[in-house]
């Protein structure tokens, strides 16, 4: 019977249909029929993909930094999630563009340099010494596997090398420094008085009608948010225990494969005395610096203490106080000229003046830590852990495929997948659409999925959601509550406070503008206003724009005012964030003068301006690189 059906189907029409299917698959691929048309990457840079998971981690890190920065003032409603995601993606695109540019220019980071960078991170130390156990534990808390961390760190080092190469070539001229400091070093003298918000709110009486009117006009501010609870299955590679035995042959093979990783490179302990030199220094300045360095060498040859001369004469603020001591360092940590000199010395030897982009160095080698290879026996546990981690990854991806399939094939329940994979079905607390929850609800990807049309409205299981490296969850709706209006009786006290604050701010602003008009018209002085308002006139000496006293908000306003005429006074009003109204009387403006700064401060100002110019040049280079690159950002699924 089946043979007969096949023969009938495979007539002329059947071959035509097969032909159409063949052409379709040839051009578009079978995958276009078997999976969603949505892109499985966040962006591509010259065909190099930025994964959705990497974008999600970058977004979460950026969001966490903002939450930490705002502290107690954090309000989820303040965050524009779409803008945060866009910013996180642009940061990743910038990093990828830089890494690719650095790769083309031949920048690289050795495994030894990556290892040294990791060893220097305080979070990975125990009693001041790097601890592999602490390293793995800290990464584990963040859901990061060591190989992924080390790869990303290597990329970051390479990108930073390229950044430094661009930024360190920038150098401000003396004229640019003078012009910059004219404004940066500007000082202003002013007086001010404060009309406090409290003095306007104390006498205010709020009626029930005021409260009702405000509530009616601001109903959106008094809503209980839409919220949901979810069930979920969690698959985490770090919790998987592989059922295998590791043999010695596999351990030896892995050790041989990564032999370079287990070699601690040679390090050298040196100290130096720096005679600094500006990058754009002319021949006369260079000759003078060299002469000064040679004079220091002569004093050392005569028996003076290297440590004492470094403290007295070195222009390196980071090491001068410690007698020029730079500690131990390996290759790749210093400028090429400095490194070549150090690694050419024997213990106790001292160099002649060595020129680098920073000036002339007199270098003395104090000690050498030779290269050391760690024997297999000392790293055997680490190798076993790595082999187990690889097997854990294999098991994880097999279970991940099963979880994806079962959650899709049985979209109305998690029970089948839970039974097959021996996972517990967990439940969340209430999750608000605005985020800011705890536990799994703190993950923005979970919040988005929980309120998606497919999960919330259609009642389906979600696709696996990555919440960390090799760590996914599948969710479904357990309970849902729509947003609802809060009754006036419940929020009446809050409404009354808001009404009073709003009215008091309007009164303070109106009175402040009245006072400002009378001052500008010459009808009153700051002293007569202060007496009438029963407040005090506060007077400052000449202050810089970064002064912490008086309040920086007032200082910023004073520095944004136009300068007064000679012998005159300029007035300006400021409605502060806390509702007070401040009247500022600007009496004197004094431009900054570079000649007023001591030499050390002038050098620091030059470094700061050069760094700023370097950042500007880096931004220009970044813009050019991005224009030359092929960058593609697929539309989001809802577009």
Contact 306, 314 (CB under 8 A): no
CA–CA dist 582, 193 (Å, integer): 6
Among the candidates 462, 485, 508, a domain finishes at: 485
Q: Is 53 in the same domain as 166? A: yes
Q: Which residues of the chain have pLDDT under 70?
A: 1-39, 70-79, 140-143, 169, 171-172, 174, 180, 636-639
**What does the CA dihedral 604, 610, 612, 617 come to, rounded to 10 degrees?**
-170
What pLDDT sits at residue 8?
32
Burial of 577 (0-12, 13-18, 19+ CB in 10 A): exposed
CA–CA dist 582, 197 (Å, integer): 10
Task: Provide, for the chain, the percentages of residues in helix, strand and coil under a 3-state DSSP scheme, each rounded to the nearest 5.
Answer: 55, 15, 30
Q: Is residue 599 part of a domain?
A: no
CA–CA dist 205, 329 (Å, integer): 71
Question: In sequence order, what are the beta bridge partners of 363?
Answer: 272
Q: Is 355 in the same domain as 389? A: no
CATH number (domain holding residue 273) = 3.10.50.40
State the number of CA atoms in the 13 A half-sphere of 540 facing the CB. Answer: 25
CA–CA dist 265, 373 (Å, integer): 9
Closest CA to 230 of 413, 430, 506: 430
What pLDDT sits at residue 32?
32
Contact 445, 465 (CB under 8 A): yes
Closest CA to 212 of 491, 504, 507: 491
The total domain count for the chain is: 5
What pLDDT sits at residue 480?
94
Q: Is 394 in the same domain as 481? A: yes
Contact 543, 188 (CB under 8 A): yes
- DSSP E strands in 291-397: the ranges are 325-329, 354-356, 359-369, 372-373
Among the candidates 339, 370, 401, a domain finishes at: 370
Return the ∠ at Cα 283 (arms to 278 and 284), rounded to 5°.
90
Stated as kind and residue range, the H or E segment containing 299 is: helix 283-301
What pLDDT sits at residue 19?
43
Q: Is 461 in the same domain as 392? A: yes
State the number of CA atoms in the 13 A half-sphere of 72 facing the CB. Answer: 0
Contact 428, 439 (CB under 8 A): yes
Residue ranges of alpha helices (H) inside 314-453 are 336-342, 376-409, 415-421, 444-450
CATH number (domain holding residue 535) = 3.10.50
66's CB contacts (< 8 A; 6+ apart) are 74, 79, 84
Residue ranges of alpha helices (H) inside 105-131 are 111-119
Q: Is residue 389 part of a domain?
A: yes
Q: pLDDT tens digits, residue range 372-390?
A: 888 888 888 888 877 887 7
Q: Is residue 550 part of a domain?
A: yes
CA–CA dist 271, 231 (Å, integer): 61
Q: Is residue 471 part of a domain?
A: yes
- CA quadruple 282, 287, 289, 290: dihedral sign: positive
Q: Is 452 in the same domain as 349? A: no
Q: Is 326 in the same domain as 342? A: yes
DSSP tag of 73: G
> What residue has token string 């990058």?
279
Q: Is residue 177 part of a domain?
A: no
Tokens of 590: 């004094």
CA–CA dist 594, 362 (Å, integer): 30
Name the phi and psi angles at 267, rounded to 5. Answer: -125, 150
Q: Is residue 385 part of a domain?
A: yes
Closest CA to 576 of 548, 554, 602: 554
Among the candidates 590, 608, 624, a domain finishes at: 590
CA distances from 170 to 226, 356, 611 (A): 53, 15, 7
122's CB contacts (< 8 A; 6+ apart) are none
What pLDDT sits at residue 120?
83
Q: What strand order describes the sheet that includes 267-276?
A: 325-329, 267-276, 359-369, 354-356
CA–CA dist 58, 66 (Å, integer): 12
Q: pLDDT tens digits, residue range 63-111?
A: 777 777 766 666 655 667 788 888 889 989 988 888 888 888 888 887 7
Q: Is 163 in the same domain as 48? A: yes
137 CB neighbour count, 10 Å cutoff: 11
600's CB contacts (< 8 A; 6+ apart) are 317
Tokens of 601: 């401060």
Q: Is 276 in the same domain as 335? A: yes
What pLDDT sits at residue 17?
35
Q: Is 455 in the same domain as 408? A: yes
Q: Is residue 127 part of a domain?
A: yes
State the number of CA atoms in the 13 A half-sphere of 320 facing the CB. Answer: 12
The long-range contacts involving 572-579, CB below 8 angstroms and separated by at least 24 positions, are: 572/516, 573/512, 573/513, 573/515, 573/516, 575/505, 575/508, 575/509, 575/512, 576/551, 577/553, 578/197, 579/197, 579/501, 579/504, 579/505, 579/508
For the chain, the distance separating the N- and C-terminal CA atoms, rounded to the nearest angstrom, is 49
Q: Is 231 in the same domain as 204? A: no
What pLDDT sits at residue 143?
60
CA distances from 15 to 11, 12, 22, 29, 383 (A): 6, 5, 10, 19, 57
What pLDDT sits at residue 28?
35
Domain that holds residue 16: 2-34
> What residue has token string 């996914």?
472
Can you give the length of the chain in residues? 639
pTM given for the model:
0.48
Q: Is 504 in the same domain as 544? A: yes
Q: Is residue 254 part of a domain?
A: no
Closest CA to 76 of 557, 433, 544, 446: 433
Q: Is 49 in the same domain as 166? A: yes
What pLDDT sits at residue 433?
81
- CA quadruple 73, 77, 81, 82: dihedral sign: negative
What pLDDT sits at residue 414?
95
Return the ∠ at Cα 95 (arms to 89 and 97), rounded to 5°.
100
């Amino acid at each position: 019977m089946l043979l007969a059906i096949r023969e009938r189907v495979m007539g002329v029409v059947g071959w035509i249909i097969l032909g159409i299917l063949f052409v379709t698959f040839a051009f578009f691929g079978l995958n276009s029929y078997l999976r969603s048309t949505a892109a499985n990457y966040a962006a591509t840079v010259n065909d190099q993909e930025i994964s959705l998971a990497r974008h999600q981690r970058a977004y979460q890190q950026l969001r966490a930094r903002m939450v930490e920065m705002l502290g107690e003032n954090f309000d989820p409603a303040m965050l524009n999630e779409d803008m945060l995601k866009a910013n996180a993606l642009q940061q990743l695109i910038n990093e990828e563009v830089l890494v690719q540019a650095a790769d083309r220019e031949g920048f690289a980071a050795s495994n030894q340099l990556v290892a040294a960078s990791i060893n220097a991170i305080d979070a990975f130390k125990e009693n001041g010494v790097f601890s592999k156990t602490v390293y793995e534990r800290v990464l584990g808390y963040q859901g990061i596997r060591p190989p992924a961390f080390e790869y990303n760190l290597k990329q970051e080092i390479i990108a930073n090398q390229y950044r430094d190469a661009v930024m360190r070539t920038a150098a401000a001229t003396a004229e640019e420094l003078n012009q910059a400091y004219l404004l940066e070093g500007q000082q202003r003298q002013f007086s001010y008085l404060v009309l406090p918000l409290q003095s306007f709110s104390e006498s205010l009486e709020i009626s029930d009608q005021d409260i009702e009117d405000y509530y009616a006009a601001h109903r959106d501010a008094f809503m209980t948010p839409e919220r949901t609870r979810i069930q979920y299955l969690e698959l985490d590679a770090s919790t998987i225990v592989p059922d295998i035995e590791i043999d010695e042959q596999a351990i030896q093979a892995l050790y041989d494969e990564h032999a370079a990783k287990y070699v601690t490179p040679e390090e050298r302990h040196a100290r130096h005395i720096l005679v600094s030199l500006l990058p754009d220094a002319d021949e006369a300045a260079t000759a003078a610096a060299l002469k000064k360095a040679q004079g220091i060498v002569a004093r050392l040859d005569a028996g003076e203490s290297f440590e004492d001369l470094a403290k007295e004469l070195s222009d390196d603020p980071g090491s001068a106080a410690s007698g020029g001591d730079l500690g131990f360092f390996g290759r790749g940590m210093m400028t090429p000229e400095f490194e070549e000199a150090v690694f050419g010395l024997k213990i106790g030897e001292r160099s002649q003046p060595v020129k680098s982009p920073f000036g002339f160095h007199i270098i003395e080698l104090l000690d050498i830590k030779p290269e050391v290879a760690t024997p297999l026996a000392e790293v055997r546990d680490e190798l076993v852990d790595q082999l187990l981690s690889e097997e854990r990854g294999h098991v994880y991806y097999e279970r991940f495929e099963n979880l994806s399939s079962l959650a899709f094939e049985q979209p109305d329940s998690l029970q089948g997948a839970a039974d097959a994979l021996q996972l517990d079905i967990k439940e969340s607390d209430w999750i608000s659409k605005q985020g800011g929850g705890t536990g799994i609800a703190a993950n923005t990807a979970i919040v988005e999925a929980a309120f998606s049309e497919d999960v919330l409205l259609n009642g389906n299981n979600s696709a696996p959601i990555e919440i960390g490296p090799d760590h996914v969850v599948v969710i479904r709706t357990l309970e849902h509550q729509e947003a609802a209006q809060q009754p006036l009786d419940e929020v009446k006290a809050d409404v009354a406070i808001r009404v009073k604050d709003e009215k008091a701010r309007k009164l303070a602003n109106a009175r402040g503008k009245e006072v400002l008009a009378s001052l500008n018209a010459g009808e009153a002085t700051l002293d007569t206003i202060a007496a009438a308002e029963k407040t005090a006139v506060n007077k400052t000496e000449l202050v810089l724009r970064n002064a912490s006293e008086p309040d920086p908000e007032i200082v910023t306003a004073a520095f944004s005012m136009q300068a007064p005429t000679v012998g005159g006074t300029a007035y300006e009003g400021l409605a502060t964030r806390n509702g007070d109204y401040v009247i500022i009387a600007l009496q004197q403006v004094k431009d900054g003068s570079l000649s007023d700064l001591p030499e050390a401060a002038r050098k620091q100002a030059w470094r700061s301006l050069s760094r700023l110019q370097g950042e500007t040049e880096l931004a220009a280079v970044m813009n050019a690189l991005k224009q030359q690159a092929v960058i593609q950002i697929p539309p989001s699924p809802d577009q």
